[in-house]
Structure 1
């Protein structure tokens, strides 16, 4: 039996990657959405490719963390979040909440520390863990039960790192990643390392001595060498740099399987967000996921088999908004015909899995579509205009 899968996402890393990978986008209100759009699409890819049983997203909270007590200049040179990205973090969290995905952030800790703590907890449950991040620090968390999915080319590709991949790329074990950073430092986090020691030298040292501590115990091997002088003069800084690079995996967190288990989204809340943000493709896919056109009668939807049934159902509703999803039978919209419909009137959904005569349904929908007080939402407004235009229906309340 396959182990259950726990996907843990580095929220800040993925948001940053999405922000820089996708040109600035905005909705008609001028709200910038590129990072939120990229983040959400990446999330959908993870759902499709990995099919997780459990999922969580970790974010940084505040700029001061416990590492500053050891080194006040930790991340001191890092620039603040871009003005165009900052407000999108709330949008991303709103989307996650609508998806019923738990968010974790803790004052005094970085997202990495929360991820590390969740990984260790997940391993105790016997789960297979996948960390999604663009931060190579996470490689230190790799075990037989835990892999890293590293974002490449912005967010369009994921590279899998397991124990074997780390060995092939660096000739290191996951545990040695912190020794590597302790020696060479990390400019992005302002971790000093040992001056003059780059990646090539650090890897060579670790191949022979395994760890910083063992290197420092063998300083006599470097007598008369410039490298030995640098190591001798910066022993404390090397140890401190390794400590700063080490992910803390013992953050007290309230974790339980029920909270982390993947759940269905709040379709109403999520569709409303997608409409507001103008994520049309995501909205289309959501409608398709929520209400498959070949589904049976369920608690929130009604199968319609005859136009008069739709007419009677709509007359019972005080319609404030209509969402329309449709499928058609040709790659050429001008020649095609609508073959199935899903209509959401307020919170009530109606499904017409087989449309034999669209003219009859268009006639029923006409008074609502031509009422400019009723907002109309669809995934492809131009195409809907084509089909309804043939039926002499003039949509008045389309939300773009």
Structure 2
């Protein structure tokens, strides 16, 4: 009997690099565990980032992998609205050198780093997910619920929970079960209620509960505006007073899925060169990750 190779169904995991890096950094920096290497560089964020990514790869077994990054704080959204993310301070000094280090380590795994100045990682993720729509399943690894608007029958979202290896996996059905909305309605939900994390207000005085109620009754912002006379006097007044901000908040909330980026699927095949990766890990003093590097699959006899 000859050798039989069991071929997995092709699938792509898109990793929200900055979300994982920040999450990992703050999880250890709070107790001062910066994990300084022999060159005096902190590595705690990169170590945690790699553990999150490789644990998810082990759990979900994608055949292809790409990591998307924010490329600076200035984007088309900050040009639309000066206050966008203006509530966020400078990155801690211990984290700043880890931005480039994380990309170098990803490169050592032969995983594409994808990002474009003027856009956020979410926009690159959304664009690639749409480009590959219908060709293979796509999963998105992140800690950011904003990405749930991208859910469809081919796109799932893996939300990181506390610790390593704990996930909440969302599909359009689980999202609907949770809040009664379809994924695209999340854009209008955020347009109405705003987003304190990204620092845009939505409609002043409209919170999540009211926004959800209005969308369940009228489906979308256009439906709400067409039925303003049927709303309570209070809700009608609030929306009319903040109409311009409502439309602007929707533009800020919506992920741009037409960014000029591509993911060459052949270069995204996840098949790391173990020697190359281990050399990089040794050089940068990143520990506890080597054992997580997958071997090539063994043939099944």
TM-score normalised by length of structure 1: 0.68
Question: 1:96 and 2:71 equivalent?
Answer: no
In the alignment, the residues of structure 2 paired with residue 3 and residue 156 of structure 1 have an alpha-carbon distance, to the nearest angstrom, of 22
Q: Answer yes or no: is the 8 Å Cα contact 2:37–2:43 preserved in 1.
A: no
2:238 maps to which residue? 230
Q: Counting strand residues as a fraction of each chain, which structure ranks higher? A: 1
CA RMSD of the aligned region, Å?
2.0
Give SS of 1:35's match: helix
- TM normalised by structure 2 equals 0.89
Q: Does residue 127 in structure 1 map to residue 133 in structure 2? A: no
Between Structure 1 and Structure 2, how many residues are aligned?
Answer: 287
Residue number in structure 1 paired with 2:213: 204
Correspondent of 1:189 among 191, 198, 206? 198
Q: 1:114 maps to which residue?
A: 124
Residue 133 of structure 2 aligns to a residue in which SS? helix
1:125-152 residue CA offsets vs partner (Å, 9 max, x unmatched): x210100111111000000000100111
**Is 1:282 the counterpart of 2:292 in the alignment?**
no
Paired residues of 1:131 and 1:146 also in contact (CA < 8 A): yes
The reply to whether residue 270 of structure 1 matches residue 259 of structure 2 is no
Gaps of at least 5 residues in structure 2 are 1-6
Residue aligned with 1:41, SS = helix
**Would you say the 8 A contact 1:8–1:115 is kept in 2?**
yes
What's the CA shift for 1:171? Answer: 1.3
From 5, 14, 28, the equivalent of 2:20 is: 14
Q: In structure 2, the residue corresponding to 1:189 is in which secondary structure?
A: coil
Q: How much has 1:241 moved relative to structure 2?
A: 0.5
Secondary structure at 2:288 match in 1? helix
CA–CA distance in structure 2, aligned partners of residues 187 and 250 of structure 1: 26
CA positional deviation for 1:98: 0.5
Aligned counterparts of 1:236 and 1:217: Cα–Cα separation in 2: 16
Query: 2:291 & 2:130 partners in 1: Cα distance?
Result: 38
Gap change, CA 1:129 and 1:157, over 3 Å in 2 = same
Deviation above 4 Å: which 4+ runs of structure 1? none
1:141 is aligned to 150
Name the CA distance, whole Å, in 2 between partners of 1:171 and 1:244.
Answer: 23
- How far off its partner does 1:183 sit? 0.5
- CA separation of 1:76/1:254 partners in 2, compared to 1, >3 Å: closer, same or farther? same
**Structure whose CA Rg is larger:** 1
5+ residue gaps, structure 1? 293-400
Q: Does 1:77 align with 2:87?
A: yes
For 2:167 and 2:104, how far apart are their aligned partners in 1? 25
Residue 42 of structure 1, CA deviation: 1.3
Q: Tell me if the contact between 1:14 and 1:155 (Cα under 8 Å) persists in the aligned partners.
A: no
Q: Secondary structure of the residue that 2:13 maps to in structure 1?
A: strand
Distance 2:114 2:266 in 1: 15
2:251 alignment counterpart? 243
What residue number does 1:33 align with? 43
Q: 1:150 aligns with which of 159, 163, 166?
A: 159
1:112 shift after superposition = 0.5
| 1:226-249 C-alpha deviation (Å, 9 max, x unpaired) | 222101111121111111100000
1:331-363 deviations in whole A, cap 9, x for unaligned?
Answer: xxxxxxxxxxxxxxxxxxxxxxxxxxxxxxxxx
Deviation at 1:257, TM superposition (A): 2.0
8 Å contact from structure 2 (residues 54, 292) kept in 1: no
> Who is 1:56 aligned against?
66
Question: Aligned partners of 1:219 and 1:2: how far apart in 2?
Answer: 52
Please give the alpha-carbon distance, in whole angstroms, between the structure 1 residues aligned to 2:132 and 2:230: 42
Question: Looking at both structures, which has the greater relative contact order when contacts are Cα pairs under 8 Å and sequence separation is at least 6?
Answer: 2
Matched residues in 2 for 1:155 and 1:230: separation? 43
Q: How far off its partner does 1:110 sit?
A: 0.6
Decide whether aligned partners of structure 1 residues 48 and 235 sit closer, same or farther in structure 2, where only a CA change above 3 A counts: same
Q: Could you report, residue by residue, the CA deviation over 1:79-130 in whole angstroms, capped at 9, with x for unpaired residues?
A: 2222211111222111101100000010111101000001001214x21010
Structure 2 counterpart SS, 1:216:
helix
